[in-house]
Amino acid sequence: MTAGAPTRDATMVTVRERTPDTRRRWSADDAFALALRLASLAVLAAVLLLIWQTWLGSRPAIQAYGLRFLTGTAWDPVAEKFGALPYVVGTLVTSGIALLLAVPFGIGAAVFLSEIAPPRTGAVIAFLIELLASIPSIVYGLWGVFVLAPFLRTLVEPWLIKHLGFLPLFQGFPFGLGILPAGLVLAIMVVPTVTSVTREILRALPDSLRGAALALGATRAEAIGVTLDAARPGILGAVILALGRALGETMAVTMLIGNTNHLSWSLLGPGATMASVIANEFTEAVGKLHLAALFEVALVLFLVTLVVNAAARLIVLAATGGRRDVAGAA
Amino acid sequence: MNSTIRNGLAALALAATAVAPAGAQQLTGAGATFPYPIYSKWFDVYHEKTGVAINYQSIGSGAGIQQVKAGTVDFGASDAALSDAALKDMPRRVVHIPTVGGAVVLAYNLPGFDGRIQLTPELVAGIYLGDITAWNDKRIAAANPGVTMPAAPILAVHRSDGSGTTNIFTLYLSSVSSRWKDVAGAATSVSWPSGVGGKGNDGVAGVVKQTPGAIGYVELAYAKQNQLPMAFVRNKAGKYVDPSAASVTAAMTGVAAQLAKDVRTPIVNSPAPEAWPISGLTFLIVYQDTKDAAKGLALARFLDWAIHDGQQYAGALGYAQLPEAIVKVNEGTLKLLTGGGKKLMAAANP
Amino acid sequence: MSRGRPDVVLPAGVHWRRRVANRVAIGGCVLATALVVLPLGLLVLRLLESGLHGLSLGFFLHMPKPVGEPGGGMANAIVGTLIVVGIGAAIAVPVGVAAGVYLAEYGREWLSGVVRYTADVLAGAPSIVVGVAVFGLLVMPMGHFSALAGGVALAVIMLPTVVRATEEVVRLVPASYRQAALALGAPGWVATLRVVLPAARAGVTTAALLAVARASGETAPLLFTALGNRFWSVHLDQPIATLPVMIYDYARAPYSDWNSQAWTGALTLLVLVTVLSALMRLATRNIR
């Protein structure tokens, strides 16, 4: 049976039989579906255009360096030697730190706001947290340099060096600027995304879910656990959004990461990310190869984003067992 | 209902864009951040005087040059002069017009120490090469007789972003240390052998201000604003000079003959007795021939005003005025400007 | 009935452990919220501390002045931000919501998998790369910077947030709503537009606001598209001043007067977005 309107999914049924002697006419439903598809293609187009422009700009560098670009660690605009490995590592590490901190705290906060707090209070605090997404990243950077960095330099980093200094992760001189502060600020910047979206998802789940759990004798925390489980695919979506923001964040990271292209194990030392090196050097790059190398870093960032997102997708698939719809309760 | 609000806003915006008022000449320029304060002062004063609106945005020297190349702006501004290779890259011939000078200073943070610190060129290079790591190193003590230097480690702060300030500083280091020239060279961004990077002049000043033992190179105005002590550096003539607008002007005078031949000559390490050794000029980059004659004329008139009347505003903002010799060089350059083939300056100065 | 994990009835003897776990979990959530709000609260306090005293009517009405001259304001930047963000939202919100609805309703097609994936990739694009790409696509052909190009760059940045968040909330509207509409004889598109989407109204608004809030603070994409303007301009095809760019310029300068105006500008931006969000929330409030 071919329906006149496209089939949604298993739980949706549209009843429009096509009788053999009717010519298939373009229905309003088809027009609507087409409009939606075109909008989605716009998203595709945006990414393709971005990648195309980036690739165009990076051609001279691709020709000059080939694959050595990905494994090289030198970044010397004067000698025109460019290698992007330290930046790739820096991006992955800072985003990793950001997610490690933002996800548990963000979800915890979202749970509090939607399940535990009185509705009015929850709404107000959620509103405030959303607004914080609008603070320009340069303000986060300024705050980081003038408030966070001294705090880390005088209190946190010496403590880390003293107690966890046996790990290569925490060795070195307390600068206040470096990979750890950058990761921390990133975490603060992506937390509103995690919290807001998770809260919306939790609020959208039917009350019957919690009601049923509680009726069966669950404690409040256990009922929350049930809700979280139902919201899992959506929450993972929120986390991926947050990851995206962390990977591409420029200004605040640039101001805090200390900017060096030397690879080191220590989280307390300076580093650099792909986004930060582009932001730092793009507007001042005069040499053709220098500019092209920066474009190529952007291209590599796209590649990394592609790979990381593919991996995240696979994790989502595994976590939800392929199930994508949730809570069909009436 | 929210779509109504949105529609309303869109209608408002559209209405506001109705007709562009035909009016006085409008020019757009982009480039260096270093001269932004003085340029914004100049354009404001000039607008009031003549009604010509010149919109300048400080997106960076390199970006400014890119925009000139792309033709999206009427002029560019750069702290680093274009190399011969870069000049060849431009679609048409461009000229450099130095507008003001600036001093790059070495600001430091040594709490509890309020003496004066003297550094020789070799010491400056040594600190940034990572050879000298403590303030009480024998070599620093040798340049500061009778002063007890504190036993603190030195943290050499550099610029993480590309900048004209770095260009001036590394030009200086390359001219006083052949080892520096081999290891890192001179450019708006280089590969720094050691130290930590801060973003922007304000970033470097911030790091120095917050980190005991730090030393960083910044423009004079930033050291002053953050009340950071500045090192005295020995110039080519052997004198320990303290950075100021006057010492930069002296540096310009010391290299005047070379500047007359090529206005891009670096003014670091100038031989004049009172010269500040780490000085630099900032340039406006303009096409020698402008396609739009009216715009070209407006620009030429402004440039003429800037190198003469505009100079009086430089000192108050911490910039160095151009000495007479350089003004003469600029006048010569301006005479070369043409609009659609016809010489502009004749029309500008009847 | 809940599709979650089947509920377990624990024997009476373990009761205290569940009680403790309950307390710990709830306490953990409170702590998490406190830790999330804390740095954000500190930030806002710092903003208020540094920016409040500069907030005057003059700040909103006056044009920027050169250094050292008192009484400068950011009038052109405030209007410019509204215009550029407005253009961005006008493009990104309809397109993004439509794409989000597509992903939620047609989630099993191969195209939707591709779109979802590309939206996530787009979310990770550094804003400066977006600015440079739009420069190549719009500014170069036009031959000059423009507010329009700035709006387009912001739209690209807003798009992924709107798309993915819309998808997640629309997906959660119970199937029964849609089925009821269809059972009453509505065509598919009416069911989607008039029943499902309004039910997800609050969530979609949040998605749009989140995107607008983020985009209004972006600096890097505007540097190469809208550029900036010291003078008053509301023309879509001319460079235009915006708050983030002006804040960026003033924050980097060595003049305390400008630095403090930068903080005031940041505070203004926050206030602007707050007012906008409040209006939107009021307009789409769910009256149950």
Cβ pair A254:B160 closer than 8 A: yes
Which residue carries 């969000």 as its tokens? C277
Question: Quick check: is A170 in a domain?
Answer: yes
Q: What is the pLDDT of residue C8?
A: 37
Q: The dihedral of CA A15, A21, A26, A27: what is its sign?
A: negative
Is the Cβ pair A280, B160 closer than 8 Å? yes
A326, pLDDT greater than 80: no
Task: Give the residue from C43, A78, A34 showing the smallest Cα distance to B171.
Answer: A78
DSSP state of C107: T
pLDDT in tens, C123-165: 878 888 888 889 888 988 888 889 999 999 999 999 998 998 8
Rounded to whole angstroms, what are the CA distances from B154 to A116, B13, B213? Answer: 52, 55, 5
pLDDT number for residue A319: 65
Average pLDDT in the A161-181 region? 79
Structure tokens at C158: 């807003």
C237 touching A (Cβ < 8 Å): no
Alpha-carbon distance of C35 to A132, in angstroms, equals: 14
Amino acid found at B71: G
Task: Test A248 with C124 for CB contact under 8 angstroms.
Answer: yes
Measured between beta carbons, the chain C residues lying within 8 angstroms of A325 are 107, 171, 175
Confidence of residue A260 (pLDDT cuts 50, 70, 90): confident
Residue of B nearest to C81 (CA): B13
CB contact under 8 A, B192 and A260: yes
The model carries a pTM of 0.79
Give yes or no for residue C14 having a pLDDT over 70.
no
Chain A stretch 163-182, residues whose beta carbon is closer than 8 A to a beta carbon of chain C: none
B37: tokens are 């304060």
CA nearest neighbour of C129 among C151, C148, C153: C153
d(CA C132, CA C223): 9
Q: Rounded distance, CA B224 to CA C108, Å?
A: 63
Among A152-166, C74-88, C258-272, top mean pLDDT goes to C74-88
Tokens 């408002």 belong to which residue?
Answer: B12
- C231 and B53 within 8 Å at the Cβ level: the answer is yes
Residue with tokens 């901190």: A101
Chain C nearest-CA residue for A111 = C29
Q: Sorting pLDDT into bands at 50, 70 and 90, what band is A145?
A: confident
> Residue A248's closest CA among C221, B74, B4?
C221
Position B345 pLDDT exceeds 90: no
More confident residue, A43 or A158: A43
Report how far apart, in Å, the C-alpha atoms of B11 and of each of A154, B18, C90 are: 54, 11, 12
Q: Which two tokens stand for residue A99?
A: 């997610």
Report for B53-57, C35-39, C214-218: range of highest mean pLDDT: B53-57
**Model confidence over B87-142: pLDDT tens digits?**
988 999 999 999 999 999 999 999 888 888 999 999 999 999 989 989 999 999 99
Place of tokens 């020789």: B120
- The closest alpha carbon to B94, from B82, B102, B109, belongs to B82
Question: What's the maximum distance between 2 C-alpha atoms anywhere in chain C?
Answer: 78
Residue A327: the pLDDT is 38
High-pLDDT (> 70) share of chain B, %: 91
Q: What average pLDDT does range B142-168 have in this prediction?
A: 88
Q: B31 with B58: CB under 8 angstroms? A: yes
- Quick check: B211 and A175 CB within 8 A? yes
DSSP string, C28-53: HHHHHHHHHHHHHHHHHHHHHHHHGG
> How sure is the predictor about A323, in pLDDT bands with cuts at 50, 70 and 90?
low
For residue A262, pLDDT beyond 90:
no
What one-letter code names the amino acid at A184?
Answer: L
- Token pair of A302, please? 């796209």
Q: How far is C178 from chain B (nearest CA, A)?
A: 23
Of all residues in chain C, the percent with pLDDT exceeding 90 is 20
Asked if pLDDT for residue B20 goes beyond 50, the answer is no
Number of domains making up chain A: 1
Q: CA of B18: which chain C residue's CA is closest?
A: C235
Say if residue A312's pLDDT is above 80. no
Inter-helix orientation angle B2-16/C75-105, to 10°: 140
Q: Which of C156, B228, C100 is nearest to A37 (CA)?
A: C100
Facing residue for C254 by CB, picked from B10, B72, B222: B222
d(CA A199, CA C141): 43
Closest approach of C83 to chain B, Cα-based (Å): 7
Start-to-end C-alpha separation, chain A:
28
Residues 6+ apart with CB under 8 A from C225: C131, C134, C135, C138, C139, C145, C146, C149, C150, C152, C153
Domain positions in chain C are 72-287
Exposure of A130 by Cβ count < 10 A (0-12 exposed, 13-18 middle, 19+ buried)?
buried
Residue A39 belongs to a domain? no
**Which tens digits make up the pLDDT trace of A265-278?**
788 878 889 988 88
C36, C111, C207 member nearest A195 (Cβ): C36
- Residue A263 sits in a domain whose CATH number is 1.10.3720.10
Q: Are C203 and A204 in contact (CB under 8 A)?
A: yes
Interface of C with A in 142-201 (CB under 8 A): 156, 159-161, 163-165, 167-169, 171-176, 178-179, 182, 187-189, 192-193, 200
User: Quick one: pLDDT at residue C11?
Assistant: 45
C72 pLDDT band (50/70/90 cuts)? confident
The two three-digit tokens of residue B35, written as one number: 């001269």
Q: How many CA atoms lie within 13 A of B93 on its CB side?
A: 9
pLDDT at A10: 42
Contact C33 A108 (CB under 8 A): yes
- Whether A82 and A289 have beta carbons less than 8 Å apart is answered as yes
- Among partner residues B17, B72, B316, which is closest to C144 by beta-carbon distance? B72
Chain B residues closer than 8 Å to C242 by CB? none
Asked if B86 lies within 8 A of A286 by C-beta distance, the reply is yes
- pLDDT tens column, B164-202: 889 999 999 999 999 999 988 888 888 888 888 887 888
How does residue C31 score in pLDDT terms, banded at 50, 70 and 90?
A: very high
List the subunits that have 3+ CB pairs under 8 angstroms with C.
A, B
Please indicate, yes or no, if residue A5 is contained in any of the structural domains: no
- Is residue C239 within 8 A of residue C228, CB to CB? The reply is yes
DSSP helix/strand/coil, A79: coil
Of the candidates A176, A258, A279, the beta carbon closest to that of B197 is on A258
Of B74-88, B145-159, C56-70, give the lowest mean pLDDT range. Answer: C56-70
* Residue among A219, A227, A236 nearest A111 (CA): A227
Compute the nearest-CA separation of C143 from chain B (Å): 5
Q: What is the pLDDT of residues B251-304, one digit of tens each?
A: 999 998 898 889 899 999 999 999 999 999 999 999 998 888 888 999 999 999
d(CA B340, CA B295): 11
Which among C208, C185, C175, C181 is positioned nearest to C194, based on CA atoms? Answer: C181
Residue C19 confidence (pLDDT)? 82
Report how far residue A95's alpha carbon sits from residue A110's, in angstroms, rounded to the nearest whole number: 21
pLDDT for position A44:
92
* Torsions phi, psi for C111 (to 5 deg): -60, -35
Q: What is the mean pLDDT of residues B35-43?
A: 90
Q: How far apart are CA C120 and CA C103, in angstroms?
A: 13
pLDDT on residue B7:
58
Partner residue facing C25 (CB), from A148, A191, A221: A221
Structure tokens at A37: 């598809």
- C-alpha span between C39 and C25 (Å, rounded): 22
Task: Give B230's Cβ-side CA count (13 Å radius).
Answer: 26
Q: Which residues of A touch B169 (CB under 8 A)?
A: none
In this prediction, residue C83 has a pLDDT band, given cuts at 50, 70 and 90, of very high
Alpha helices (H) in chain A, listed in sequence order: 28-65, 68-71, 85-111, 119-131, 137-143, 149-151, 157-164, 179-204, 207-215, 220-248, 251-256, 274-281, 288-320
Q: How far is A66 from chain B (nearest CA, A)?
A: 21
> Is a pLDDT exceeding 50 seen at residue C10?
no
**In this predicted structure, which of A71-80, A190-199, B93-102, C261-270 has the lowest mean pLDDT?**
A71-80
Contacts of A45 (CB under 8 A, 6+ apart): none
**Segments forming the whole domain that contains residue A253:** 63-327
| Whole-angstrom distance, CA of residue A109 vs CA of residue A115 | 10
> What average pLDDT does range B291-319 have in this prediction?
90
**What is the mean pLDDT of the segment spanning C260-271?**
87
| Mean pLDDT, chain C, integer | 84
Stretch A21-38: mean pLDDT: 78
Asked if pLDDT for residue C241 goes beyond 50, the answer is: yes
pLDDT single digits (tens) C193-222: 888 888 888 888 888 888 888 788 888 889
Please tell me whether residue C188 adopts helix, strand or coil conformation.
Answer: helix
Enumerate residues 6+ apart whose C-beta is below 8 A from B26.
Answer: B52, B53, B54, B55
CA distance A202 to A115: 8
For residues A26 and C31, the model is more confident at C31
DSSP B232-278: EEE-TTS-EE---HHHHHHHHHHTHHHHHH-TT---TT--STT--SS
* Contact residues on chain C for A109, CB-CB shorter than 8 A: 29, 32-33, 36-37
A176: left (phi over 0), alpha (psi -120 to 50) or beta: left
Name the band, by pLDDT with cuts 50, 70 and 90, for residue A12.
Answer: low
Average pLDDT value over all residues in chain B: 86
Residues β-bridged to residue B154: none
For residue A107, the model assigns a pLDDT of 93
Question: What DSSP string runs through B6-43?
Answer: HHHHHHHHHHHTS-PPP-S-EEEEEE-STTHHHHHHHH
Q: What is the reported pLDDT for B287?
A: 92
CA-to-CA separations, A72 to A46, A177, B197, C43, in angstroms, rounded: 31, 25, 21, 39
Q: What burial class does residue B19 get, using C-beta atoms within 10 Å of its C-beta: 0-12 exposed, 13-18 middle, 19+ buried?
A: exposed
| Fold of the domain built from segment(s) C72-287 | MetI-like fold (1.10.3720)
In 3D, which of B337, B326, B307 has the Cα closest to residue B260?
Answer: B326
Q: What percent of chain A has pLDDT over 70?
A: 88
**A254 close to B161: Cβ distance less than 8 angstroms:** yes
Reported ipTM = 0.79
Instruction: Note the pLDDT of residue B347.
Output: 54
**Quick one: pLDDT band at residue B313, thresholds 50, 70, 90?**
very high
